[in-house]
Structure 1
Amino acid sequence: MGLSGSGKSFVARILHEEFGFEWIRSDAIRKELAGVYERIKVGFGEGIYSEDWTKRVYEEMINRAKVLKDAGRHVVIDATFLKKWQRDMVKEQLGDVLFLMTVADEEEIKKRLSQREDISDADWNIYLRQKEVFEPPEDITTINTQKDREEIKAELRKVLQRYGLEDSPKPY
């Protein structure tokens, strides 16, 4: 979890590639459900980013995660989880979950968002609006994504060991 540009997908990719987690990405699911596959420009909380759409996206992510979890897989859900209701929804549906919050300095986030060329529609203005409405969780493990990949991988390994998840089955 974390604000746009904080490095969520970078961490999710490491969990997927290095630790065998199945990767569910909110940006991809949102676009898939909407039948849109290019970047779009809408205002914060509008169109496919409205609260109703967000609820639909989170429900779909949870449904997909349940199937994978029931099959014995470890899953990383790559989404902002800005609101407490979103985190509660995941906990209620999936049971025991671990939230990791990605963080980076604002200058780094601004740079990342200006250079972004992926499926995400978030830009600096969206980041600023997210920051206004973010409901921070208490007692959360944070991952600073301004470190290099190997440092983050080592940090993730320690967190996974602490929670008994280091022996994740490989996806292939």
Structure 2
Amino acid sequence: MVIVIFGLVGSGKSTVAQALSEKLNGEVFNSDVVRKEMAGLKPFESAKSDFTQGIYTQEFTDKVYEELAKRAIETVKKGKIAILDATFKSKNYRTLLRKLCSEKNIPVKFFYLDVPEEEIKKRLEKREKEKTVSDADFNIYLKMKNSFDPIENDVIMIDGTATPERVAEIILKKLKEAKDVQ
């Protein structure tokens, strides 16, 4: 199974994905880490640039999402759960993953972390003081928010304001209710 934890910058994707992986013994693929790996950078090396510049161009981002899908499918083929941690702001990326998983008969579930803007602003201000793999800040959040494609009906909306452990428990409960995991 492939589980996608997605949402806007600062919504808690990485911490929730990590907490969920500990509960499911899944393997997490973070788009920031994969992007920097593909660009020959270290995970914590800054690559800050404008919203669609540098390693954040459309062309490079397309390759990153293709690589995320490839790694997820390879992981599931090995008998593990793959957890993708990325914004998936484009419907095209969500559609691509659904298509590739469907071709391999791999179930995929999308969980969108919904967090109020004020909370995101607080989180991003705190993040700026820490060393993280993400290069995004509140200005990137605002630009991304305005270009985020509408969310499909099969996406499960999750309140992302609780602790990462609590959000992971909620996601796990939803997966169990749907009989996707034991």
| Shared fold per TM-score greater than 0.5 | yes
Q: Deviations over 1:62-110 (max 9, x none)?
A: 1111111111111111000001100011111112311000121111101
Q: Any unmatched runs of 5+ in structure 2?
A: 1-5
Q: Structure 1 stretches of 5 or more lacking a match? A: 168-172
Confirm whether residue 161 of structure 1 aligns to residue 176 of structure 2: yes
Letter matched to residue 166 of structure 1: V
> What is aligned with 1:81?
88
Q: Distance in 2 between matches of 1:150 and 1:25?
A: 18
- Letter in structure 1 aligned against 2:141: Y
Inter-partner Cα distance in structure 2 for 1:149 and 1:52: 32
Paired positions, count: 167
Relative to structure 1, the CA distance from residue 124 to residue 136 in structure 2 (aligned partners, 3 Å threshold; closer, same or farther) is same
Instruction: Provide the residue aligned with 1:151 in structure 2.
Output: 166
Is residue 121 of structure 1 aligned with residue 135 of structure 2? Answer: yes
| Equivalent residue runs for 1:12-51 within 5 Å | 12-37=17-42, 38-51=45-58
- Between 1:30-39 and 1:154-163, the stretch displaced more is 154-163
Given that 1:7 and 1:103 are in contact with CA atoms closer than 8 Å, whether structure 2 keeps it comes out as no
1:99-148 Cα shifts (integer Å, max 9, x gaps): 00012111110111112131000000000010111002122212222113
CA–CA separation in structure 2 for the residues paired with 1:10 and 1:52: 27
TM-score normalised according to structure 1 size: 0.91
Aligned partners of 2:30, 2:98: CA distance in 1, in Å? 17
CA distance in 2, matches of 1:75, 1:22: 5
| Stretches (4+) displaced over 4 A | none
Deviates more, 1:125-134 or 1:148-157: 148-157
Alignment counterpart, residue 68 of structure 1, candidates 67, 75, 91: 75
Confirm or deny: 8 A CA contact 1:102 1:143 kept in the other structure.
yes
Tell me the amino acid that sits aligned with residue 31 of structure 1: K
State, as a whole percentage, how many aligned pairs show the same letter. 40
Residue in structure 2 matched with residue 5 of structure 1 by the alignment: 10
TM-aligned CA distance change 1:165 to 1:14, over 3 Å: farther
Please give the root-mean-square deviation of Cα atoms over the aligned residues, in Å.
1.3
1:21 Cα shift? Answer: 1.4
Q: Is the 8 A contact 1:20 1:74 kept in 2?
A: yes
Q: Taking structure 2 as the reference length, what is the TM-score of the superposition?
A: 0.86
Alpha-carbon distance in 1 for matches of 2:181, 2:36: 31
